[in-house]
Amino acid sequence: MANPTENPAMETPSPATPSSSYSSPYTPKPENPAPQSPSPSPALASTARLWRPTAQRNLRNQWPKLASYRQQWASSSSTARSHATSLVNSYLSLKYMPSMELGVLSDMPNIRKKACQKLFKQQELHRSGLLSSYKDMVSVVTHMVQTSRSMRCFVKGATNNPLVQSSGCSEDKNDPGDGGGIPVFAFWSISCFEKLAEELVQMFILELNLKRLVVVELLSISCDVPTVNSLDWSDELYPGEFGELSICNLYGEETCKPIYPRLDDQKFEMPAARCNQQPDHDVLQVYLTTWIAEVNIDAHRYITGVISTGMISRGLSYCSLGMLKVTVLLGISLSGDPKLG
Amino acid sequence: MGMEAMVKRYQQRFRKVKDEMDSWALLQSRLISQFRNASSIIQRLQVLQDSKNYGRLKDVVGIEEALLAKQMESLQNIFLSMKKTMEEFHAIVLSLGKIHRDGRQMVKGGASGQLSVKQLQQRIGVKPSLADCLDGLMLLQDMHCSEYVTLWYLLKSSLVSALSELTLKPSDSDLGALQQLLVDQPNIPKEEVQFIFDIIFAEEIC
């Protein structure tokens, strides 16, 4: 978090000061590339010179965070996947144990019982492993959401002696924190970056929601009759889960239930009532495939989304779009203005 | 050039061949793992195509199409990397061909002029004859070339047809048999390869 007092030069705006080395060759005149942003006030126009370096520094801090959260997501998701696979395998072994051909081993006393006990213990172990990796994933996504909401920089203090702060909330209702929509890096205004971050984070939110369904189902599998582990979608999987889900807009405050998963381009449909039938081998395979496939995280659709919103105009070539995709998805941090084709 | 010096130069070529074959082995294990990934996706596709296998996920509208599309995309990517692996196999085949051609050039247009059959077959001690060297280079190049051609044929016909016939009949056993072929490399018999190297480097074994 950039602290404005660390840089005394920030506190005294002087019109004679040459613009920062970071700034793009375009003059920060009150130009508005994002049509949805309100027109900048004269006060903001006068502090634009002051605002931009702080905004750039803030963006350079925030974007790499998104990239590193993405890596954390990948690693938690992969840990969860291996727990899920082992959980499924020990469940299937337990299920088939009574009919399993044991050969010479069948002479050993209580061999089946001992094997079942061992498998049961393994199942418990992987169940808690899966739950704790899921918990990590929820926490990563809440961090992503918070980061995507920390792109703006607000002007604080008096008009004649303003301070720019890269986080928190606005003191002035007329200050949206986007520098009046002026470009921060090259042609990109704050709202462009925000929109990108939001789209990126939205993919992870949807994926988290879908994975929650798989987690609920996998934690519910059990050989016991009646099933002791049976969980419902509306159960809180660990203390504090609903609070975190509501940061991600995944908790319905009116229904007091987590929002049921849907895909990005699809309508929501009310789930049918839960049946207590245990999933068979094929269903479990589909669950695990769903976990691996990450259907909601799609770079191509992501880029199409960017193009279709029409937020990129004025000569951003496809080449630079490709670069942007790499920047955002592969976690290469922004350093200075992107070189545009 | 003396016979002994020529044999030495051939032995150097065989060492190059050995290096190429080591890279070949790496590529082979890469291809096998790519193939394994591809066939596990292909086998999974059948399960994914049946909506009654979706359990609770069937309440998520569009999940079946999305999941299938994602798996096809992964399969596409695996096919692309297999194609790249095949290109690297091809580069090795070309390199072995060049080593063989250069070897033939050595006896044909060498400073010593045209060599007689007798000279070609002449053996000094445990050292290989020039004919042994030439035959060895040719055989090794032939084997790898045939294996490469077979691989292309197998992958193209079997894998792609396994995919297109997926809806008609299960092809798990076909894919399993193909994977065994990739491991076995029938065109490159191990004993024969060893035999060639044993002759060429007989002095190092003794």
Contact across the interface for A286 and B66, Cβ inside 8 Å: no
Quick one: which of B37, B21, B42 has its CA closest to B148?
A: B21
Q: Does A218 touch chain B (CB under 8 A)?
A: no
Mean pLDDT, to the nearest integer, of B153-182?
69
Measure in Å the smallest separation between the Cα of A299 and chain B Cα atoms.
12
Taking CB atoms and an 8 Å cutoff, what residues of chain B touch A293?
Answer: 66-67, 70-71, 74
**Distance in angstroms (rounded) separating the CA atoms of residues B30 and B89:** 11
Structure tokens at A339: 């070189």
Quick: pLDDT tens for A50-76.
777 888 888 888 888 888 898 899 999
Task: Tell me, yes or no, whether B64 lies in a domain.
Answer: no
Q: Is the pLDDT of residue A2 over 70?
A: no
Element (H, E) at A236: none
Taking CB atoms and an 8 Å cutoff, what residues of chain A touch B47?
Answer: 282, 285-286, 289
Quick: pLDDT tens for B92-122.
999 999 999 999 988 876 555 677 788 888 8
Task: Tell me, yes or no, whether B88 lies in a domain.
Answer: yes
Quick: pLDDT tens for A103-132.
877 787 888 888 889 999 999 999 999 999
| The pLDDT value given to residue B181 | 82
Secondary structure string (H, E, C) spanning A54-90 = HHHHHHHHHHHHHHHHHHHHHHHHHHHHHHHHHHHHH
Complex prediction ipTM: 0.72
Contact across the interface for B55 and A290, Cβ inside 8 Å: no
Place of tokens 């990108």: A196
Q: What SS3 state is found at B33?
A: helix
Mean pLDDT, to the nearest integer, of A221-229?
70
Q: Facing residues of A213 across strands?
A: none
Question: Which residue in chain B is spatially nearest to A214 when comparing CA positions?
Answer: B57
Give phi and psi for A155, each to the nearest 5. -90, 130
Question: Which residue in chain B is spatially nearest to A297 when comparing CA positions?
Answer: B70
Q: Does A293 touch chain B (CB under 8 A)?
A: yes
**Distance in angstroms (rounded) separating the CA atoms of residues B49 and B137:** 50
Contact across the interface for B44 and A290, Cβ inside 8 Å: no
Contact across the interface for B54 and A286, Cβ inside 8 Å: yes
Task: Tell me, yes or no, whether B74 lies in a domain.
Answer: no
**Distance in angstroms (rounded) separating the CA atoms of residues B7 and B126:** 11
Quick one: which of A256, A266, A206, A265 has its CA closest to A236?
A: A256
Task: Tell me, yes or no, whether B149 lies in a domain.
Answer: yes
Task: Tell me, yes or no, whether B35 lies in a domain.
Answer: no
Q: How many folded domains does chain B comprise?
A: 1
Percent of chain A with pLDDT over 90: 30
Task: Tell me, yes or no, whether B57 lies in a domain.
Answer: no
Taking CB atoms and an 8 Å cutoff, what residues of chain B touch A210?
Answer: 60, 63
Q: Does B55 touch chain A (CB under 8 A)?
A: yes
Q: Is the pTM of this model over 0.80?
A: no
| The pLDDT value given to residue A253 | 87
Quick one: which of A155, A190, A183 has its CA closest to A27?
A: A183
Q: What SS3 state is found at A155?
A: strand
Average pLDDT for chain B: 86
Burial track A70-108 (b if 16+ CB lie within 10 A, e otherwise)? bebbeebbebbbebbbbbbebbbbbbeeeeeeeeeeeee
A36 vs B172, which has greater pLDDT? Answer: B172
Q: Does A299 touch chain B (CB under 8 A)?
A: no
CA A284, A285, A287, A288 torsion-angle sign = positive
Element (H, E) at A24: none
Question: Smallest Cβ distance to B61: which of A213, A267, A274?
Answer: A267
Measure in Å the smallest separation between the Cα of A280 and chain B Cα atoms.
8
Q: Does A264 touch chain B (CB under 8 A)?
A: no
Task: Tell me, yes or no, whether B40 lies in a domain.
Answer: no
**Distance in angstroms (rounded) separating the CA atoms of residues B68 and B74:** 10
Taking CB atoms and an 8 Å cutoff, what residues of chain A touch B59?
Answer: 260, 269-272
Mean pLDDT, to the nearest integer, of A17-37?
39
Question: Which residue in chain A is spatially nearest to B52 when comparing CA positions?
Answer: A283
Domain carrying residue B153:
3-28+82-205
Mean pLDDT, to the nearest integer, of A232-255?
93
Question: Smallest Cβ distance to A286: which of B55, B59, B74?
Answer: B55
Measure in Å the smallest separation between the Cα of B5 and chain A Cα atoms.
55
Average pLDDT for chain A: 73
Burial track B71-82 (b if 16+ CB lie within 10 A, e otherwise)? beeebeebbeeb
Task: Tell me, yes or no, whether B120 lies in a domain.
Answer: yes
